[in-house]
């Protein structure tokens, strides 16, 4: 069996940084809370729970005067305000690339209508859009352009600033921008491709592997948006794509010693999960 693991499979810089620092913070503090999943991977969250981090859903569940970790995807502006008000010490592990989006939005919000390309309800977008104020819109698909325009029309701004979720599909980006320009033809438009370099490179590599290998395994959390995009890209070029969180989801009967298998993993997938899949395949491949 031929097995090839993508060179960019697994933790990106922002995730690695968040997990390393959270582990350290957990070791130095008696009680530490984290709002939401620190990164979108259940195995990673489980391990951090074992180290003593208490995961909650809202800042309201964090007691006054305690310690809290802010996840790699960032938190809404209101959560920072609430933490300060209640004297909660914040360990802010927001990825510096996501922080850049927050700064950009704050810089542009007074003069521009802000359009954020990305998934509605995703933690990173909830965070970014909270800094944009009322005159903003998260555009999940081209079908939302009319609603977006209607909202823009109600403002008298005449200027539009477009940016994207850091894990947005970079191949889709140009197409959506083109359509937006056609629909907002009278507006002055500033476009900022804020897709993270790590995302773009990983998406390129999964495309290359999917063209080369008849079977592809994509490892990552089911709730991870960057993993979902890798699966989407892979399915375009490969007929047999297995989207899994752990090796337990693979069936031995679907592989044989003559197989050629490519492996890619999302930005929040730990090294151990990749290793387990490789070992599983090596056992079948002899």
Contacts with ligand SF4 by CB under 6 A: the residue count is 14
Stretch that binds ligand SF4, among 49-57, 60-68, 191-199, 254-262 (CB under 6 A): 191-199
**Residue 273 near residue 247, CB atoms below 8 Å:** yes
Cβ closer to ligand SF4: 21 or 259?
21
Q: Where are the beta strands (DSSP E) in 148-268?
A: 159-164, 188-191, 215-219, 240-244, 260-265
Please tell me which residue in 37, 124, 200, 207 is annotated as part of the active site: 124
By CB under 6 A, what part of segment 255-274 binds ligand SF4? 267
Exposed / middle / buried, residue 238 (Cβ in 10 Å: 0-12, 13-18, 19+): buried
The H or E element that residue 177 is part of is: helix 170-183
β-sheet bridge partners, residue 2: 260
Distance CA 129, CA 134 (A): 9
Of 45, 75, 83, 98, the one binding ligand SF4 by CB under 6 A: 98
For 53, what's the count of Cα atoms within 13 Å in the CB-facing half-sphere? 26
Question: For 120, left (φ over 0), alpha (ψ -120 to 50), or beta?
Answer: beta
Cβ closer to ligand SF4: 254 or 271?
271
72 touches ligand SF4 by CB under 6 A? yes
Of 35, 44, 68, 198, the one binding ligand SF4 by CB under 6 A: 198
The contacts of residue 269 (CB under 8 Å, 6+ apart) are: 9, 10, 11, 41, 219, 220, 221, 224, 227
Of 19, 105, 160, 196, the one binding ligand SF4 by CB under 6 A: 196
Taking CB atoms, the residue at the shortest distance from ligand SF4 is: 14
130 touches ligand SF4 by CB under 6 A? no
CB of 267 to ligand SF4, least distance (A): 5
**Residue 283 near residue 25, CB atoms below 8 Å:** no
Cβ closer to ligand SF4: 160 or 230?
230
Cβ closer to ligand SF4: 15 or 75?
15
Binding mask 2-31 for ligand SF4 (x = CB under 6 A): ----------xxxx----------------
The contacts of residue 275 (CB under 8 Å, 6+ apart) are: none
Of 167, 224, 243, 269, the one binding ligand SF4 by CB under 6 A: 167
Examine the residue annotation and report whether 37 is marked as an active-site residue of this protein.
no
Share in percent of the chain as helix, strand, coil (round to 5): 45, 20, 35
CB of 218 to ligand SF4, least distance (A): 16
Q: Which residues lie near ligand SF4 (CB under 6 A)?
A: 12-15, 72, 95, 97-98, 166-167, 196, 198-199, 267
Name the residues annotated as catalytic: 124
């Amino acid at each position: 069996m031929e097995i090839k693991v993508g060179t960019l499979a697994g933790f990106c810089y922002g995730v690695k940084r968040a997990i390393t620092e959270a582990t350290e913070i957990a070791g130095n503090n008696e009680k530490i809370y984290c709002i939401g999943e620190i990164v979108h991977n259940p195995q990673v969250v489980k391990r951090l729970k074992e180290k003593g981090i208490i995961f909650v859903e809202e800042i309201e569940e964090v007691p006054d005067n305690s310690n809290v970790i802010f996840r790699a995807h960032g938190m809404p502006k209101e959560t920072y305000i609430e933490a300060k008000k209640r004297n909660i010490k914040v360990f802010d592990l927001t990825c510096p690339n996501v922080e850049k989006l927050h700064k950009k939005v704050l810089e542009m919000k007074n003069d521009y209508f802000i359009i954020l390309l990305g998934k509605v309800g995703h933690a990173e977008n909830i965070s970014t859009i909270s800094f944009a104020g009322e005159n903003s819109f998260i555009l999940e698909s081209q079908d939302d352009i009319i609603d977006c325009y209607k909202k823009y029309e109600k403002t008298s701004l005449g200027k539009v600033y477009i940016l994207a979720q850091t894990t947005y599909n970079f191949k889709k980006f140009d197409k959506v921008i083109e359509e937006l320009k056609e629909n907002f033809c009278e507006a002055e438009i500033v476009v900022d491709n804020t897709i993270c370099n790590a995302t773009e490179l990983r998406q390129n590599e999964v495309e290359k592997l999917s063209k080369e290998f008849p079977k592809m395994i994509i490892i990552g959390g089911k709730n991870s948006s960057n993993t979902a995009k890798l699966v989407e890209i892979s399915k375009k070029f490969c007929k047999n794509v297995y989207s899994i969180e752990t090796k337990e989801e693979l069936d031995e009967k679907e592989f044989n010693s003559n197989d050629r298998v490519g492996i890619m993993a999302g930005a929040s997938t730990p090294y151990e999960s990749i290793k387990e899949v490789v070992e599983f395949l090596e056992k079948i491949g002899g």
